[in-house]
Amino acid sequence: MGKMPFGQHGKGNAPRPRVRVAATVAILLAACAVCAGVVAAQMGGIPELEAASNSHGSGSQGSAQDQATPAIGSDAVENADGDAEETAADENDADDSANKTAASRTSDNAKKQAAAKSDEAEELALADIDPLSFDVVPASDGFATFSLVDGTPEPELPSSARQQIERAASAVAQAGGKLGAVFVDMNTGAGVAYAPDTEVYGASSFKAPYALYVCEQLVEKGKASLDDVCTVGATYGLDEPHDPSEAHVTRDLISNAVTVSDNDSFKILRNAYDAQGYESWAESLGVTDAPIDPVSYYPSYCARSSARLWCEMLGYLGTGTATAQWLEGLLEQTTVSFIRTALEDEGVRVLNKAGWLGGDPEYNSVTDAGIIECNGHTYLMCLMSSMSDSAETEALLEQLASALFAARDALA
């Protein structure tokens, strides 16, 4: 029901007894109109009395007998009439105030209920999606759509959006690279995938998920501290010469590995923490293609596994602990992000970790994965390609990121 204009609440709703009193008073005043005029003239034309006489006697013609009637009690009658009107006005004002208060409360309650439903919907969408939810992503060799939320249909992309994604994927293939991709709106569970089980060398993209493992599984559970000192340990595969007894603080190792993609910091972390539960943690998330490899610190894994890991990352960052907030800040400060570069004009916030390597067909990689925040929606984007790294191939991955993100409205 719409609100009545201000000042009209309760109009015409005064109790009927007041109407009869007002009519009686009007007749008496009409009979005394002339006397009131005489009294007003004798008192020097007091404006208040003139106004009362004009108001109550307007349009009334009294007889000679009426005009000769003494004005005894006219003040009392007029005061009674005024009191009645004031009482009616006061009650109307009270009705007006009560109506506005009730309307205000109704409006406030409606807003609170709408906000609660909105918050609940968002919480349910995020809570209903966990790393194992990505089991439902179709195991196709090409383009596919999916929904991670039970009972909701797969999204339907406009043909133009699908064609744009397929052209970008085809360009990666023409550059000699295998490709896997997953893009999902975490508020709705709707997503797009392209060959999600294609495994490629992940290069440095795995540094962020490993930092997640140390923070979530070890630091938060009291099994390690960011202030713990790690020795270099095994020197196999380190980029720079190090003494095995050389000590580094865990906090610095994570920061350097994530933000500037320092290889030796990552390797020292793995030497220190692999044996404290990494493989069981990864397997609990459904990630079975990134085990500890005795000959490489960097696993080859697929876009589906990347999406599982970043889904876990999103959940962990949402806990808001001091360590989670610190890690979130590092992910926003990465010096290289093909996703961030591709979407720099979209007004987005990107938390990511990229990987890149060229010149070796077995280990070529141009990859990027992370969290995108835009206009109240949170997305995961995981792009895995085996292209040899170059400015040209990085641009191709950025084109794919742009094509996927351009389809986001169909996922809402």
What single string gives the DSSP state of each residue in 141-157? SSEEEEESSTT-PPP--
Q: Which of 205, 188, 194, 135 is nearest to 167 (CA)?
A: 194
d(CA 266, CA 258): 8
Tell me the three state secondary structure of residue 276. helix
Q: Please return the burial class of 197, using the count of CB atoms within 10 Å of its CB with bins 0-12, 13-18 and 19+.
A: middle
For residue range 185-221, what is the model confidence (pLDDT) as tens digits?
Answer: 999 999 999 999 999 999 999 999 999 999 999 999 9
Three-point CA angle 347, 323, 238, nearest 5°: 90
> Is there a contact between 192 and 157 (Cβ–Cβ < 8 Å)?
yes
- Sequence-ordered list of residues with C-beta below 8 angstroms from that of 111, at least 6 positions apart, any chain: none
> Is there a contact between 237 and 270 (Cβ–Cβ < 8 Å)?
no
Assess whether pLDDT exceeds 90 at residue 48: no
The neighbour count for residue 13, using CB atoms within 10 Å, is 10
For residue range 157-171, what is the model confidence (pLDDT) as tens digits?
Answer: 999 999 999 999 999
On whether the 131-411 domain is CATH 1.10.1040.10, my answer is no
pLDDT classification of 74: cutoffs 50, 70, 90: very low
Mean pLDDT across the chain = 79
Please, where in the chain does CATH 3.40.710.10 lie? 131-411
The pLDDT value given to residue 234 = 81
